[in-house]
Structure 1
Amino acid sequence: MSGDAGLESTPARSWVTPGLLVLSLVLVMSVSLMAGPQWFGFGKLWHALWSPSPTNVDDLLIRTTRLPRTLLAAVVGASLGVAGGIMQTLTRNPLAAPGLLGVNAGALFAVVALATMGGGLPAAVANLGAFVGAALAVALVWSLAMRRGPTAGPLRLLLAGAALTALFHAFSQALLVVDQQGLDSVLFWLAGSVAGRPLTDTWPMLILALVALLACVPWLSQWNVLAAGEAVAVGAGVSVRRLQLASITLIVLLAGASVSMAGNIAFVGLIVPHIARRLATPDHRHWLPLAALIGAVLLLCADIAARTLIPPGEVPLGVMTALVGAPFFMLLVRRQGVRHG
């Protein structure tokens, strides 16, 4: 039993949506490079990318500020979209998102703890600390939720994640109350942003996220089987425990790298998988790659809006995603309530 029966679509239609999304991604990335307090035309963009002048201020702005920002937004959006899709498959809960495993809370607590030690917080140290904090939080959630017993499983995973998320937030707030000078160092993580993040500080996490996205490919077919239920997966010869561990590891790598690069970006991991499933068949080989493209396009659009709505200032990127995601989340909750009412 492969679990893929009935999930195929015609070859002609299967390429239409991915093709349009790839074109949309290229277009939005181009707009991202041109947009800001000072807008540039396509000619200036082409010159800056392919024949830059070392003394031209506009070329330097595009290459050293807007290009890293665009790349980060695209990779973070793709990573969060895929991580959210894996999370919803793993827990079989359409309202699940990576933050429910304590990823964001663990990263924030690690950054706050480092900031309160004094002596400044270098960006590279903050990035690494955020990733380690996210990974440790998820490892703790997994160890608590998946111990052998009658209640072990997806529901216990979500409950353990919610409890530890609240605990980590309480610890972070307590540290900030004790040392309020550390608040300035963590505002970036609280609001979420891809601004002012040079590639010299973020390239290790950027590469890690890209590698994790590629590492999802071998598991796509097995996620199809897991989505039908653990009993079906066991009957199909799938090692459920091994698949769950691989899924959690990929969620940690994708969401942990994202939060270390961009801070707390809410709702992307929640809403993107739902959009992707509406545009494709239920086959993970179809909709999960779409989730990567949609996540990248969505976060790039949010970042463009964040830097152009109130020039010369900026709206925090996490606020922009919340403005879109919160109504979507309430709609999902309402539909789930109607379905089970």
Structure 2
Amino acid sequence: MTTAPAAVNAPLRRDSRRRRVVWLVILALLVLVAAIVSVTFGTRAVSFDDIIAGLTGSIESTSAAAVSKRVPRTVLALVVGAALAVSGAVMQGVTRNPLADPQILGINGGASLAVVIGLAFFGVSSAFGYIWLAMLGAAIAAVFVYTIGSLGRGGASPLKLALAGAATAVAFSSLISAILLPRIDVMSVFRFWQIGGVGGATVEKILLVVPFLAVGMVICLAASAALNSLALGDELAAGLGERVRTARLVAALGAVILCGAATAVAGPIGFVGLIVPHICRLLVGPDHRWLLPVSALVGGGLLIVADVVGRVIARPQEVEVGIVTALIGAPFFIAIVRRQKMRAL
């Protein structure tokens, strides 16, 4: 008598689910620890009393004021890191490209160019205006890169999308420079934002961007099952009853909202969307129903840690978080490229 496959696989599924839940709990605790460290460490050393005073506002002192400023930047790093990580994971799922990332595909560049145009020609100066401009620019860049990458035989292959994204990012960067060079006043405003950082975080800015990030996150999580189908290939996904174009469009919309809103408030921070999904696949596997929540936790924690590192290594000055993530991400990117090349041999 043979055992039914379902009976054999049931314990494996339960073990896999248990392992993923354990990782979720561990990562949530690590993010909490990172947040505590972020509030505690910075360019100015603070005591435990300063932390309590800064959180409660009971004592007016320089150290307590430093703590009170670290709280919103920690929250902003958490939500921006989560948004960029989930956006990268969704982009990799939509394009089936392990090198997909908001920066590499030129989507950050599109958001940046839209913000620069708004600054230079329309006098946009509010965070709310930045958010809408960045999302519009990110959407246009995503459509443009995918269209260019789809041309020719074979459609939108991972290599063509990566090349189209890299070329588009360079073109957008050149356009940004051309617009900014004659306008010194706009350049002085833009250059701090362009590096990418969370040092200018405020409660008002967080409350403004959270609704956009929540909408993008809900869309991406709702598309997680469809992303699992798309990973099998378009033909097989269609055979399973999936509306391939609709699924890809909805998932891409959520990713663009996350990327655009995050870029608007923190600048074009790179490599988070590239690094985090690869790490999370090692922890919980390729199932997007688990991959996206875990990526949100790891992305938020990574950006908090990168912000702390930037504050500590150059005391009393700061290194913006966008520079720290680039230093971490560049070697990781090279490693991924080499791994993909070895697989292709």
TM beyond 0.5: yes
Q: Where does residue 272 of structure 1 map in the other structure?
A: 276
Q: Partner of 1:262 in structure 2?
A: 266
Q: Describe the shift of the 1:9–1:225 C-alpha distance in structure 2 as closer, same or farther (beyond 3 A).
A: farther
Q: Do 2:130 and 2:265's aligned partners in 1 also have CA atoms closer than 8 Å?
A: no
Q: Secondary structure at the match of 2:13?
A: coil
Do structure 1's residue 169 and structure 2's residue 173 form an aligned pair? yes
* Alignment match, 1:62: 67
* Equivalent residue, structure 2, for 1:31: 37
Partner of 2:57: 52
TM-score (norm 2): 0.87
Distance 1:206 1:45 in 2: 25
Cα deviation 1:255-306 (Å, max 9, x = unaligned): 1111111112111100100000001122112222111111111111000000
TM-aligned CA deviation for residue 41 of structure 1: 3.7
Give the structure 2 partner of residue 180 of structure 1: 184
Whole-Å Cα distance in 1 between the matches of residues 112 and 229 of structure 2? 35
Deviations 1:291-337, CA, capped at 9 Å, x for gaps = 11111111110000001111110112111001111011111111111
What amino acid is the match of 1:23?
L
Distance, in Å, in 2 between the alignment partners of 1:37 and 1:94 is 37
Q: Distance in 2 between matches of 1:297 and 1:309?
A: 18
Of stretches 108-117 and 241-250 in structure 1, the one that deviates more from structure 2 is 108-117
* CA deviation map 1:122-141 (0-9, x unaligned): 44434443333223332444
Question: Which amino acid is 2:245 matched to?
Answer: R
Q: Residues of 1 paired with 2:48 and 2:25: CA distance?
A: 22
Q: CA deviation at 1:225?
A: 1.2
Is residue 134–residue 260 contact of structure 2 (8 Å, CA) maintained in 1?
yes
Structure 1 Cα separation of the partners of residues 244 and 153 of structure 2:
16
Amino acid in structure 2 at the alignment position of 1:22:
A
Question: For the Cα contact (< 8 Å) 1:109–1:168, is it kept in 2?
Answer: yes
> Within 1, Cα distance between the matches of 2:98 and 2:266?
24
The answer on 1:153 being equivalent to 2:159 is no
Which deviates more from structure 2 when the two are superposed, residues 112-121 or residues 224-233?
Answer: 112-121
Task: Give the partner amino acid of 2:179.
Answer: L
RMSD: 2.6
Q: Which residue of 1 aligns with 2:333?
A: 329
Q: Distance in 2 between matches of 1:219 and 1:288?
A: 10
Are the aligned partners of 2:20 and 2:283 in contact in 1 as well (CA < 8 Å)? no
Equivalent residues of 1:306, 1:317 under 8 A apart? yes
- TM-score, length-normalised on structure 1? 0.88
In structure 1, the partner of 2:13 is 8
Distance 1:219 1:127 in 2: 23
1:147-189 residue CA offsets vs partner (Å, 9 max, x unmatched) = 9x96543556555444433332221111122223322111123
Confirm or deny that 1:17 pairs with 2:53.
Answer: no
Amino acid across the alignment from 2:197? S
Shift of the alpha carbon at 1:217?
2.4
Q: Counterparts of 1:90 and 1:285 in 2: how far apart (Å)?
A: 14
Q: Which amino acid aligns with 1:32?
A: S
Unaligned runs of 5+ in 2: 1-8
Counterpart position of 2:254: 250
Deviation at 1:199, TM superposition (A): 2.6
Give the letter for the 2:57 counterpart.
Answer: P
Percent identical: 37
Matched, 1:131 2:135: yes
Q: Alpha-carbon deviation of 1:226?
A: 0.8
Contact 2:107 2:142 in 1 (8 A): yes
Deviation at 1:46, TM superposition (A): 3.8
In structure 1, the gaps of 5 or more residues are none
Task: State the match for 1:200 in structure 2.
Answer: 204
Q: Is the 8 A contact 1:224 1:284 kept in 2?
A: yes
Q: Give the SS at the match of 1:97.
A: coil
Q: Secondary structure, in 3 states, of the residue corresponding to 1:178?
A: coil
Partner-residue secondary structure (3-state), 2:103: helix
Q: Pick closer, same or farther for the CA change 1:9–1:46 going to 2, 3 Å.
A: farther
Is 2:221 the counterpart of 1:217?
yes
Structure 1 residues 306-315 or 211-220, which shifts more? 211-220
Match of 1:231 among 235, 242, 254: 235
Task: Give the superposition deviation at 1:93.
Answer: 1.2
Pick the aligned partner of 1:302 from 297, 302, 306. Answer: 306
What is aligned with 1:287?
Answer: 291
